[in-house]
Structure 1
Amino acid sequence: MRYAIVVLLLLLCPAPARAADIGGFTLSARAAPVSVLLHSDLIPVPAEPQGEVHLSYTRTELGSGPIGRSVASSLWPGAAVGTGLPQLVGFAYPVQANAAHPGGPADESKPGMRATAGAARAESSAGARQGVPFLLTADGVTSSSVSAVGATEARSAAVTSVQTISLLAGLVVVSGVRFESVAVSDGGKGSGTSAFSVAEITVLGQKFPVEAPGAPPDGLLKVLEPLGITLTWPAAATKLDGTSATSTSRGLVLTVDVLALRTGLGLGGILDGVLAPLLPEELVPLLNPLRKMVVVVGDTEAAANASASAPSTPPDAAPAPAPAAPVPPGGEAAAPLAPSPGSPPVAGVAPPKAVAPVASARTKPGSVLGFPGVPALLVLAGLGVAAAGAFGVKSFGTFLLGGAPCPSGHPTGVPDLRNG
């Protein structure tokens, strides 16, 4: 009886669980250490901002198919110019490295830029000392974006770092900046992290160390206000929705009111009172080329969404019968004739559609009690009845044949018929 109990306990133990295999997935990552957005009345563009530049920009995309793409650019002018230039002038924007799968190239490198793309991983990186004339200079500006899928999870990560950025010839200096966003999906749920750090901000030679990551240093906003500069502190967040996750780290935003800055620095009288009368009327607007400038230091975003692979069809499952063709009145159904290869299309008959092959999914391990077509409860009940019956038969036989001694002293049990 004790052996039957042991067998029942073993059958009741579930099979060891493991993470589900990844089926479909969608991944993206984007990183921009420094972005400059220009607002001007001189550029005839019906949009805000009229110009944009992103230093050491990287982006990756990876999806089911698989389809992968990665872009790296040391000076990215935005999607309108970076990707739309071939349609306008006939050639691609040159300051970028591109990789794509399956179309290729799988790997492309240029000074300060590199992009790779494959079936399971897309990666891009960029970094160099860069600057925008008369506006800013930046040292140690790097970024990387990675989107990758494995057997049990899909992951995207974006990282940026800036050693030092000097704005308006050293008027404002920001040091020690790092932003990071990570998004993960395992087909059942999404997860992610997002964080940033800023070491120090210097305004007109006065240093403001950042002691608490979640708030600007005391007195910093008051020093920037007379210069016409407003500061928006960074924010990091992760949004989860079922199997998807989106992590973002919005950077440190410095908004410069150019007209107010000219007044604060005492340049308005020189430009408008001295130089403007010396220029033709058509060139006077060139003294005020910018209305507003926005500098974003650190900006990352990562998104991941995946679904578990579907279980494969059991080998013994019979395919569903095809529906029978309608029988015309007064006649037998004619068997459809398959068109021969290379035959011209027939008017009024739609050609058959090509069916893409579907990759077989791997079967997941189930419980030991998962007998095809037999409920687990019925299996347990049958084993229990069999064990109880065997124990009862054994006890009854012992009682009849060998359970008590013979009164005459003869041996008990079944006689040996071979010694007759």
Structure 2
Amino acid sequence: MRYALVLLLLLLSPAPARADIGGFTLSSRAAPVSVLLTTDLLPVPAEPQGEVHLSYTQTELGAGPIGRSVASSLWPGAAVGTGLPQLLGFAYPIQVNAAHPGGPADESKSGMKASANASKAESFAGARQEVPFVLTAEGLASSSVSTASGSEARSTAVSSAQTITLLSGLVVLSGVRFESVAVSDGSKGSGTSTFAIAEITVLGQKFPVPSPAAPPDGLLKALEPLGVTLTWPSAATKLEGTSATSTSRGLKLTVDVTVLRAELGLGGILDGILTPLLPKELAPLLTPLRKLEVIVGDTEAVANASASSALTPPDAPAPVAPVAPPPPDAAAPVGDVPGSPPVAGVTPPKSVTPVANARTRTGSLLDFPGVPALLVVAGLGVAALGAFGMKSFGTFLLGGAPCPSGHPTGVPDLRVKP
């Protein structure tokens, strides 16, 4: 009976109210494998000089509504992927795009798909990938999704791979999955970021990964002779007010190409035979790469939303009860404050002598708004002098000298008939 009463109270209790979200900003991106190249062949001051992301996806969604999604099987970075039309006049071909409201609403190619509308932006990329002598990936896929509903805004980024073979089989990773989720409901942000790697194989020796917290024992020592430095993945979620940012930095393998060439027996052949035959300027052609970085699993999700605030009318002021005037005091002088009886506890204002307005004085004929009187008099004088001068000039031309024949001079009166 007691449990039934508790269940009845839970059913009858009102559910907690959830505020609808107003403005929001969402973004997500995922790349299962990224290859960064450092070379001396390209005169670029920044490092790396080249980059490529396999099965890359990205989405953006805002409260415009504005949505955008990108998917690419081979993404060369934003500088080339989005800047190529400005440089060469045509778009990078290995990609699909979707946008709202400009369109297209969706686009798909082999192994790539993107879609976008007012409440959801989604992209997917997945296919078998192979970069000669660098890596071969089976079951490579990534997806980025940004959605907004009435109660929350959510971004999700996932990247996964069944098997990734690096450097022609020197290093093999299997069972790779990275995921980042960020959520905002307008009042607070939340999120999670996780990753998992089932097994890593180095030169045929298998290293199972029982826990993602740290690399397996002996793995780092097995990679040192090959000139390979391993940086273990990290996952974190940062919360600031209503926003959440979840990131997972993937497993990074940094390959020192010079050490690897020496371990494989290639350095002595190239340096001892070909280097003396080439000019100093062409020496970088023998070692085009100085450093090779492979990042396995990289995801990021960002969500930020604000609650929609409905405008509520202000509370009406409480009615004030009318106060009856007290009976007049016999001792109070009459006529101090004309027009209203005295009120107890209130000092009547002193009478103020009205001040005459300067604009109410009697106007003069020379008062023109905005024009000084001296200018008006000067203008009238100039006009009079001009009229007198024109009249004298006309008299000089037409009637100033007598006629030799004795005829009358001047302008005849045309109104009189001869």
Relative to the length of structure 1, the TM-score reads: 0.70
Separation (CA, whole Å) in 1 of partners of 2:93 and 2:23: 34
One-letter code aligned to 2:299: T
Q: Look up the equivalent residue of 1:113 and give its one-letter code.
A: M
| Structure 1 partner of 2:287 | 288
Counterpart residue type for residue 105 of structure 1: P
Letter in 2 for 1:222: K
Deviations 1:102-125 (A, max 9, x none): 000010001100000000000000
Tell me the SS of whatever aligns to 2:199: strand
Larger radius of gyration: 2
Letter in 1 for 2:202: V
- Paired with 1:254 and 1:16, the residues of 2 have a C-alpha distance of 50
Worse-matched range after superposition: 55-64 or 15-24:
15-24
- Following TM superposition, by how much is the alpha carbon of 1:137 offset from its aligned partner in structure 2, in angstroms? 1.2
Report the CA distance shift for 1:283/1:315 in structure 2 as closer, same or farther (over 3 A): same
Name the counterpart of 1:102: 101
Q: What are the within-5 Å matches in structure 2 for residues 70-85 of structure 1?
A: 70-85=69-84
Match of 1:403 in 2: none
Further displaced range: 303-312 or 54-63: 303-312
Deviation at 1:64, TM superposition (A): 1.1
Change (3 A) 1:314 1:212: same
1:49 and 1:123 map into 2 onto residues whose CA distance is 29
Which is worse superposed, 279-288 or 166-175?
279-288
Structure 1 distance, partners of 2:136, 2:277, is 32
What is the one-letter code of the residue matched to 1:26? T
| Distance (Å, rounded) in 1 between the aligned partners of 2:71 and 2:179 | 17
2:253 is matched with: 254
Give, in whole Å, the separation in 1 of the partners of 2:279 and 2:174: 43
SS at match of 2:217: coil
SS of structure 2 residue aligned to 1:215: coil
**Alpha-carbon offset, residue 211 of structure 1:** 1.1
The equivalent of 2:178 in structure 1 is 179
Between the aligned partners of 2:168 and 2:138, the Cα distance in structure 1 is: 14
- Cα distance between partner residues in 1 of 2:292 and 2:221: 19
Q: Distance in 2 between matches of 1:21 and 1:245?
A: 18
> Structure 1 residue 253: deviation in Å?
0.4
Shift in Å, 1:313: 4.7
CA distance in 2, matches of 1:161, 1:15: 42
Q: Is 1:29 the equivalent of 2:31?
A: no
Q: Classify the secondary structure of the residue corresponding to 1:236.
A: strand
Cα separation, 1, equivalents of 2:359 and 2:52: 76
1:160-199 superposed matches below 5 A? 160-199=159-198
CA distance in 2, matches of 1:15, 1:288: 71
CA distance, structure 1, for counterparts of residue 125 and residue 145 of structure 2 = 12
Change (3 A) 1:26 1:277: same
Structure 2 CA distance for aligned equivalents of residues 330 and 146 of structure 1: 72
Distance, in Å, in 2 between the alignment partners of 1:330 and 1:88 is 70
Give 1:265-304 correspondences, 5 Å limit. Answer: 265-279=264-278, 282-304=281-303
CA distance in 2, matches of 1:245, 1:315: 34
Deviations 1:76-130 (A, max 9, x none): 0000000111110011101000000000001000110000000000000000001
- TM-superposed CA distance for 1:315, in Å, is 11
Q: How does 1:195-344 map to 2 (within 5 A)?
A: 195-279=194-278, 282-314=281-313
* Code of the aligned partner of 1:292: K
Separation in structure 2 between the aligned mates of residue 287 and residue 48 of structure 1, nearest angstrom: 20
Residues 282, 16 of structure 1: alpha-carbon distance in 2 compared, 3 angstrom cutoff: closer
* Structure 1 residue 279: Cα displacement: 4.7
**Amino acid in the other structure paired with 1:179:** F
Cα distance in structure 2, aligned partners of 1:308 and 1:89 = 44
Separation (CA, whole Å) in 2 of partners of 1:330 and 1:214: 87
> What secondary structure does 1:198 align onto?
strand
Runs of 5+ unmatched residues, structure 2? 1-11, 317-357, 361-418
Instruction: Name the counterpart of 2:110.
Output: 111
Partner letter of residue 156 of structure 2?
A
Report how far residue 270 of structure 1 moved. 1.1
Q: Which runs of 5+ in 1 are unaligned?
A: 1-12, 318-328, 332-420
Equivalent-residue separation in structure 1 for 2:359 and 2:215 (angstroms): 88
**Equivalent residue, structure 2, for 1:396:** none
1:156-205 CA distances to partner (integer Å, 9 max, x unpaired)?
Answer: 00000011111111111111100000000000000001100001111111
CA–CA separation in structure 1 for the residues paired with 2:306 and 2:13: 24
Structure-1 separation of matches of 2:314 and 2:113: 47
Matched, 1:65 2:72: no
**1:262 Cα shift?**
1.1
Q: SS of the counterpart of 1:143?
A: strand
Distance 2:177 2:183 in 1: 20
For the residues of structure 2 that align with 1:148 and 1:113, how far apart are their CA atoms?
Answer: 20
SS of corresponding position for 1:298? strand
Measured after TM superposition, the shift of residue 284 of structure 1 is: 3.2
In the superposition, relative to structure 1, how do residues 16 and 112 fare at CA in structure 2: closer, same or farther (>3 Å)? closer
Letter in 1 for 2:295: V
- How do 1:43-62 and structure 2 match up within 5 A? 43-62=42-61
Identity of aligned residues (%): 77
